[in-house]
Amino acid sequence: MPENTKAAQRIRQVSTHLSPQKLPVDYSDVFDDMKLLRSMASTPDTSRRGYIRQKEAGKLWVRERLEQLLDQGSFTEIGSLSGTVTWEKTGPTTDKPVSFIPSNNIQGMGRLKGRKVLLTADDFTIRGGHLDGSTAGKTIYLEKLALALKLPMIKLVDGSSGGGSVTIIGTQGWSYLPSLPAFRHIVDQLNQGIPNLGAVVGPAIGLGAARVVSCHFSVMAADIGSLFNAGPEVVKGAALGDDLNPQTLGGPAIHCTNGTIDNMARDEAECYEQLRTMLSYLPNCGVEAPPVIPSTDPENRTDESLRRVIPRRPTRMYNPRTIILSVVDRESWFEIGPLWGRTAISGVARLGGRPVGIISLNCEVNGGTLDAAGSQKLTRLLKLCDVMNLPVLQFIDVPGYAIGPAAEKAATMRWGVELAKTYFDTTTPLFNVITRRVYGVAGGVMISSRDPVMQVAWPSGQWGSLPLEGGIEVAHRHELGEAAKVGKKAERYKELDDEYRRLMNPVRTANAFGIEEIVDPKDTRSICCAWAKHVYKTLLPQRLLDRAAGKIVPKFC
């Protein structure tokens, strides 16, 4: 057979397997399908029951949230075509999408005040945010991407964030063992100092609750937010409560006051503003320094009113936030956890534009004695500052750990020791301003974890193993008992009290170099700014090198 006849025959054989349809050479048919699916995903189905329920609850639709949170036009979606599609065949080798249920978890990249971030947001209008065919894969991918790119992760939780539902059993035809493959990557991010910031903007349930609580910082919208291991219907089914709703079971009155969630916001808009604010103090990852910004507040600014803040009478209290606001840059103070662990105050601020962590005791609550919740709050802040390379400024006025039956039941010493371990395990620079009392184990824990210690004291400083109130009775029990027999207990007690107070003049401690320096309170800002300036210029660069070399390995969890 001639060669050209064989070739013709082969062409005819191949042509029988080719579609007679002519496909566009520029793949415009594929682009049309993609455009249609993206249009469906970005246009809410206002007739959908879930969308109606979302709006009736006063909540934004998920893509409205992205517009409100991120810098305008900065969002780039990852997995924009993921979801469930119904296809209609239009030819032997072609079809077209006729319906599309997008993935109920939107993920992608955007900017917060110019900072590039990764973001994941639940769409509660679709299956209440429960797991669909692509959510798990997308979630794991984004968690890995945060580690690879060293970018902050923002999580808007409204539902279960891809948690399971019993309907999956019917869909798959078998029941599965639960697993959390993404959590390994989350823990790595937390310990590497890659900021994880979460907002509760609806009911955070099960896995969704776990994802937001695991964050470095979390905030809940007071008007629509709630969080629980299982919702009211499941709790009712377990015979654990009948008259429950999301707010009474796990609203902000519960979880913003017990430490599960750090902060409360009035609404979604304030949630997003808190996320922006918190991120502004943090680096993209633990091998970077926190972002320094220009400051118009003079670093040598003085405040003579600080001389009068501490009352001369030891039993009188004062507002410790007055001191914080005076010392740090104006309008830079951002408190973390104001509604829980209220014997302690924690947050972030700036000194000369340099981010720092702030720790203070709160003498207006329980006399400033450090209780279990206060210790937990300070432990959390120290770990946060350690992984984020934030130096910590402490205002010390601590009469000791909380005492009494309630304190013992709350395991105060257990959590006090955990705080002590954290102080000695972390390595971020500390600077102490002793404003008044430093007593007992709690006082020792807070000031002695660095060697050499960096600190100054105010003239109002008082310190020792025990406060005189109670300490005199313990040390002079027999003597006072004998005086009581002759009706002179009060007289002898006053003599002892006067003598001890004379000897407790802080200048006497400075004479023995028991305190490094006593300073004028009005100069506190300039002293602290000078310390922060040195830390950022000299200590942090070396710290970053040590972290990169593995010599320092901070742990948030």
DSSP states of 447-462: HSSSSS--EEE-TT-E
Average pLDDT over residues 239-254: 81
Question: Model confidence over 126-183: pLDDT tens digits?
Answer: 865 555 557 788 999 999 999 999 999 999 999 875 555 666 677 677 777 777 888 9
Q: What is the DSSP string of 212-281?
A: HHTSSEEEEETTT-EEESS-HHHHHHTTS-SS--HHHHHSHHHHTSSSSSSEEESSHHHHHHHHHHHHTT
Question: Model confidence over 368-425: pLDDT tens digits?
Answer: 999 999 999 999 999 999 999 999 999 999 999 999 999 999 999 999 999 999 999 9
Question: Model confidence over 302-354: pLDDT tens digits?
Answer: 999 999 999 998 889 999 999 999 999 999 999 999 999 999 999 999 999 99
Cα radius of gyration rounded to whole Å, the chain: 30
| H helix and E strand count, the chain | 23, 17
From 111-115, 164-168, 466-470, the region with the lowest mean pLDDT = 164-168
Predicted TM-score (pTM) above 0.85: yes
105-112 and 76-77 as β-strands: parallel, antiparallel, unpaired? Answer: antiparallel
Contacts of 165 (CB under 8 A, 6+ apart): 127, 128, 130, 131
Question: Model confidence over 1-22: pLDDT tens digits?
Answer: 555 676 666 666 655 555 456 8
Round to whole Å and give the CA distance between 555 and 422: 10
CATH number assigned to the domain with residue range 60-81+102-167+178-281, chosen from the 4 options 3.40.710.10, 3.40.50.1980, 3.90.226.10, 3.30.1280.10: 3.90.226.10
Per DSSP, the three-state class of 423 is: helix
**Residue 220 pLDDT more than 70?**
yes
**Chain centroid to CA 493:** 48
What pLDDT is attached to residue 213? Answer: 96
Matching CATH topology for 60-81+102-167+178-281 and 304-458+519-549?
yes
What pLDDT is attached to residue 408? Answer: 96
Q: CA 357, 362, 368, 371 torsion: positive or negative?
A: negative
Which tops the pLDDT comparison, 306 or 26? 306
Q: Which of 234, 231, 263, 265 is nearest to 246 (CA)?
A: 231
What pLDDT is attached to residue 180? Answer: 84
Highest mean pLDDT, choosing among 205-214, 234-243, 278-287 = 278-287
Question: Model confidence over 477-521: pLDDT tens digits?
Answer: 998 898 888 898 988 988 888 888 888 899 999 999 999 999 999
From 61-75, 290-304, 465-479, the region with the lowest mean pLDDT = 465-479
**Residue 244 pLDDT more than 60?**
yes
What pLDDT is attached to residue 523? Answer: 98
Which tops the pLDDT comparison, 109 or 100? 109
What pLDDT is attached to residue 256? Answer: 96
What pLDDT is attached to residue 17? Answer: 55
Contact predicate 236/194, CB 8 Å:
no
Contact predicate 129/158, CB 8 Å:
yes
Average pLDDT over residues 284-299: 97
Round to whole Å and give the CA distance between 326 and 316: 20
What pLDDT is attached to residue 7? Answer: 67
Q: Where are the domains of the chain?
A: 60-81+102-167+178-281, 304-458+519-549
% pLDDT > 90, the chain:
68
Contact predicate 102/126, CB 8 Å:
yes
What pLDDT is attached to residue 238? Answer: 64
What pLDDT is attached to residue 125? Answer: 87
Q: Which CATH superfamily is domain 304-458+519-549 in?
A: 2-enoyl-CoA Hydratase; Chain A, domain 1 (3.90.226.10)
At 337, list the tokens.
Answer: 């956890």
Question: Which helix (H) or strand (E) segment is 39 a member of?
Answer: helix 28-42
What pLDDT is attached to residue 132? Answer: 59
At 117, list the tokens.
Answer: 């971030």
Contact predicate 376/415, CB 8 Å:
yes
